[in-house]
């Protein structure tokens, strides 16, 4: 999960239409008994905009969704019922609310369903002021939702990845733990695909190390510190740049990529025994960082 920016004022056509407005009015009267119309909250304009904002990836697990038809318009706050409170009518006033909609994969959507635990007092009826429906309004923030929202929260403060692809809450963050549980972010197939992302670069780095050491043995690399540094920069430059790019928003599992970059020693040096390969890779990474920080 990574932080994204959504313009809550620029509402897609499907939610700004007279038909959608009529449905909002009906929902306020019918509450939990309202028959929510996907023709509006699941309108093509809504889907396309959410897909654009989330770079075609699930808001929760960052899995790419192709074709786009496999994506789900997710209600962050459940519209018709709340699993933790059977007497709650659901957040019926948010069924067609733009700030309440995310882009989700089928697995996360199906796991989360109508679950929405909070710490604070739960809002049970719609605020009279329409502006108070927005995700960032104090009335909504005051609920203290335990499920992280990438449009408001900073997931990297609550969630971290391990080199084996597993995910964990940072320092026992309750919000991190609940988000993992609610969306199944620790499911096996996700751990495996995240581990694959870590390992693909690791294998490439080890292969480059072997080639560099072989060149040294054959005398194809100069012995001076200056020449060796130059050769090492060139040898690993593309791989380190690839690592840096793996954390850009468009990439699958970008938060993992950012962590791989920021915690290079944990992900790629800790697994190497002390010796020449580790020393070379550590030196090459240090040289890259010096150049990276200068740019």
Q: Examine the domain organization and report whether 20 and 166 are in the same domain.
A: yes
Q: Specify whether 157 is located in the same domain as 204.
A: no
Q: Is there a single domain that holds both residue 71 and residue 37?
A: yes
Q: Is residue 6 part of a domain?
A: no
226: confidence class by pLDDT, cuts 50, 70, 90: low
Average pLDDT of 232-239? Answer: 81
Cα-Cα-Cα-Cα dihedral sign, residues 192, 198, 204, 208:
negative
Per-residue confidence (pLDDT) for residue 227, from 0 to 100: 59
Please report whether residue 276 resides in a domain. Answer: yes
pLDDT in the model for residue 231: 73
| Residue labelled with tokens 């780095």 | 205
Residue 213: per-residue pLDDT:
77
Same domain, 31 and 160: yes
Boundary-marking domain end, from 183, 216, 250: 183
Give residue-wise pLDDT tens across range 42-52.
999 999 999 99
- Cα distances from 280 to residues 202, 208, 213, 264, in angstroms, run 15, 11, 9, 14
Query: Is residue 274 assigned to a domain?
Result: yes
For residue 143, with 0-12 CB atoms within 10 Å meaning exposed, 13-18 middle and 19 or more buried, which class applies?
middle
Question: In this structure, is residue 129 part of a structural domain?
Answer: yes
Last residue of a domain, one of 148, 183, 218: 183
- Residues 154, 114 share a domain: yes
In this predicted structure, the answer to whether residue 39 has a pLDDT above a threshold of 60 is yes
CA dihedral 207, 210, 214, 217 (to 10 degrees): 160
Q: pTM of the prediction?
A: 0.91
Domain check: are 128 and 79 in the same one? Answer: yes
Q: Is residue 8 part of a domain?
A: no
Q: Based on the domain organization, do 203 and 178 belong to the same domain?
A: no
Q: Is 131 exposed, middle or buried (0-12, 13-18, 19+ CB in 10 A)?
A: exposed
Count: domains in the chain:
2
In percent, how much of the chain has pLDDT > 90? 73
As a whole number, the mean pLDDT across the chain is 91
249 or 210: whose pLDDT is higher?
249
* Among 183, 214, 249, residue at a domain's last position: 183
pLDDT computed for residue 161 by the predictor: 97
Q: What pLDDT shows up at residue 228?
A: 61
- In a shared domain, residues 174 and 92: yes
Q: Is residue 226 domain-shared with residue 169, that is, in the same domain?
A: no
Q: What is the pLDDT of residue 243?
A: 93
Q: Please tell me whether residues 201 and 253 are part of one structural domain.
A: yes
Question: What pLDDT was estimated at residue 109?
Answer: 96
Containing domain of residue 54, as a range?
13-183
Q: In this predicted structure, what is the pLDDT of residue 177?
A: 98
Residue 190 lies in a domain: no
pLDDT grade for 295, boundaries at 50, 70 and 90:
low
Mean of pLDDT values over 121-136: 91
Whether 224 shows a pLDDT value over 60: the answer reads: no
Please check whether residue 209 lies inside any domain of the structure.
yes
Q: Give exposure, 238-251, as e/b (b: 16+ Cβ within 10 Å).
A: ebbeebeebbebeb
Contact in structure between 32 and 92 (CB atoms under 8 Å): yes
Q: Are residues 173 and 211 in the same domain?
A: no
- What integer pLDDT is reported at residue 292 of this predicted model? 62
Percent of the chain past pLDDT 70, that is, above it, reads 94
Provide mean pLDDT across the span 282-292. 82
Residue 3 domain-assigned?
A: no
- Per the CB < 8 A criterion, the answer to whether 257 and 246 are in contact is yes
**Both 158 and 250 in a single domain?**
no
């Amino acid at each position: 999960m990574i932080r994204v920016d959504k313009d809550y004022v620029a509402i897609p056509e499907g939610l700004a239409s007279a038909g959608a407005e009529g449905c909002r009015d009906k929902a306020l009267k019918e509450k939990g008994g309202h028959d929510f119309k996907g023709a509006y909250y699941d309108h093509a304009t809504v889907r396309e905009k959410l897909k654009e904002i989330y770079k075609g990836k699930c808001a929760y697990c960052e899995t790419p969704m192709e074709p786009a038809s496999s994506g789900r318009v997710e209600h962050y706050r459940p519209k018709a019922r709340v699993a933790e409170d059977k007497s709650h009518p659901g957040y019926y006033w948010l069924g067609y609310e733009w700030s309440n909609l995310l882009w989700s994969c089928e697995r996360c959507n199906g796991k989360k369903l109508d679950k929405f635990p909070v710490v604070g007092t739960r809002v049970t009826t719609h605020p009279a002021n329409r502006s108070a429906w927005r995700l960032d309004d104090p009335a909504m923030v005051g609920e203290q939702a335990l499920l992280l929202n990438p449009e408001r929260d900073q997931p990297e403060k609550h969630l971290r990845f391990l080199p084996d692809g597993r995910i964990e809450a940072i320092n026992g963050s309750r919000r991190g733990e609940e988000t993992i549980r609610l969306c199944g972010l620790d499911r096996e197939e996700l751990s495996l695909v995240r581990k694959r992302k870590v390992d693909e670069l690791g294998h490439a780095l080890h292969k480059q190390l072997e080639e560099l050491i072989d060149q040294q043995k054959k005398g194809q690399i100069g012995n001076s510190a200056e020449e060796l540094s130059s050769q090492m920069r060139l040898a690993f430059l593309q791989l380190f740049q690839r690592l840096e790019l793996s954390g850009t928003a468009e990439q699958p599992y970008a938060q993992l990529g950012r962590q791989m970059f920021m915690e290079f020693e944990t992900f790629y040096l800790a697994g190497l025994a002390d010796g020449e390969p580790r020393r070379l890779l550590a030196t090459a990474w240090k040289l890259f960082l010096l150049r990276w920080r200068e740019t």
